[in-house]
Amino acid sequence: MGQTLAEKILSAHTSDPVRPGEFAQVRVDVALANDVTAPIAIREFEKIGTGKVFNPDSVVLVPDHFAPNKDIKSAAQCAIMRNFARDQEISHYFEVGKMGIEHVLLPEQGLVLPGDVVVGADSHTCTYGALGAFSTGMGSTDIAVAMATGEIWMRVPETIRIVYTGVLQPWVGGKDLILYTIGKIGVSGALYKAIEFAGQAIDALSMAGRFTMANMAIEAGAKAGLFAFDDKTRTYVDQRATREYTPYAADEDADYAATIEIDASLIKPQVAFPYLPENTRPVSEAGNIPIDQVVIGSCTNGRVEDLRVAAGILRGKAVHASVRCIILPGSQQVYLDALREGLIEDFITAGAAVSTPTCGPCLGGHMGVLAAGERAASTTNRNFRGRMGHPESEVYLVGPAVAAASAIAGRITRPQEVL
């Protein structure tokens, strides 16, 4: 019996070929942590006693959740990272002014590549599956072991294959596809499984759309979300790669736990209502939902393609008087590209605020925390109770087109209604 893409990659990083359900000791290419999780990992790493990380070129540290430091506690967290990076001579430590949102920054910098095994102390590490890598989030203790030994211990997941047929409707992108999918299978629908995304609609999807879908595989409970390596992947990677890489492909006779077919031509722009990403429906069926805040950015939709979509709708229009619209470029490079293209001027002229790259609002950290009773339309990835602030606030998950249209209308709406 053949192997799935996840099994192929993991087998290349173990001493023997793996099968689903087995436990394996797996070599890693990249170990990642941020300013929330790195201090815990560093403390546990010091207990292990190796003294040095397994490879200073393979450990990546990004202070992106509460940086620039929002208070004394976050400053202390970042200081722990900074000092560890200096002591260990970590090659890829990204300080404020150079850093970005980690899951936008690493692919952009060519630090994660097709065929890699990547582990991160952040659940959305699964983003890199868009490149044909096996990437997954783990706890800080696991990352400490990975930093010390270059290996992890894990159970090999089964794989679900999801095939998207048809041509996408206008304004429908990767965010709408993944929200629709999570609505269909539920937040536990792929629990501890890998997802392979495939089909005509996936082949046509941009890399930005693929990153968005892989990013939110975890919202369906998945261990990883993977895309096949193709010409789009090659073009993206070859402009950025800092080392050699080996792409893998699933065997034609691979054994899948399930295969799900979705006619993507029927999918309309989606919105996930509070308080779960599976609580989805078409935006056209949202009803009258006034909002107080719009957030466009995050590791899910903070790439320049996302900002282009939003700016194209906001250009020449004004953010509603009752709405705070916050734009978060995913990296310094995204910020610079948006500046050169005139997108930043479009946002500011429309009445939006543009921030340095940060995860802040997504986890209710800073730069956009909600008060009791407030509602936000957000391109982020989670809308649990209290996720963006007060437990009595609400977050509605949408794509950048719906977010921008909603900022203009002052309520959740379709782009067609404001254009």
What is residue 114's predicted lDDT score, i.e. its pLDDT?
98
Q: pLDDT per residue over 234-257, tens digit each?
A: 999 999 998 999 999 999 999 999
DSSP labels for 208-243?
HHHHHHHHGGGGGT-SEEEE---HHHHHHHHTT-SS
Q: What is the pLDDT of residues 395-414, one digit of tens each?
A: 999 999 999 999 999 999 99
Q: What is the mean pLDDT of residues 294-311?
A: 98
Q: Give percent above pLDDT 90 in the chain.
A: 99
Mean pLDDT of 221-238: 98
* Whole-number pLDDT of residue 242: 87
**10 Å Cβ neighbour count for 313?**
23
If you average pLDDT over every residue of the chain, what do you get? 97
- Residues contacting 72, CB < 8 A, separation 6+: none
> In which band, very low, low, confident or very high, does the pLDDT at 144 lie, cut at 50, 70 and 90?
very high
pTM of the model: 0.96
Q: What is the pLDDT of residue 237?
A: 98
DSSP for residue 169: P
Best CA proximity match to 136, nearest among 92, 181, 192: 192
Peptide bond into 68 cis (omega under 30): yes
DSSP-assigned states of every residue in 95-106: -TTT---HHHHH
Mean pLDDT of 20-24: 97
Q: Tell me, what's the pLDDT at 403?
A: 98
Average pLDDT over residues 345-353: 98
The average pLDDT across 169-182 equals 98
Euclidean distance between CA atoms 403 and 393, whole angstroms: 17
pLDDT per position as a tens digit, 75-114: 999 999 999 999 999 999 999 999 999 999 999 999 999 9
Of the pLDDT bands very low, low, confident and very high (cuts 50, 70, 90), residue 173 is: very high
The pLDDT of residue 230: 97
Two structure tokens written together for 42 = 């560093």
The domains located in the chain, with CATH, are 5-261 (3.30.499.10), 270-417 (3.30.499.10)
Give Cα 194 to chain centroid, integer Å: 16
Specify the 3-state DSSP secondary structure of 107.
helix
Give strand pairing partners of 334.
none
Residue type, 211: F
Separation CA 134–CA 157 (nearest Å)? 11
- Is the pLDDT score of 1 beyond 90? no
User: Tell me, what amino acid is at 75?
Assistant: A
Cross-sheet strand order for the sheet of 224-227: 224-227, 193-198, 158-165, 258-263
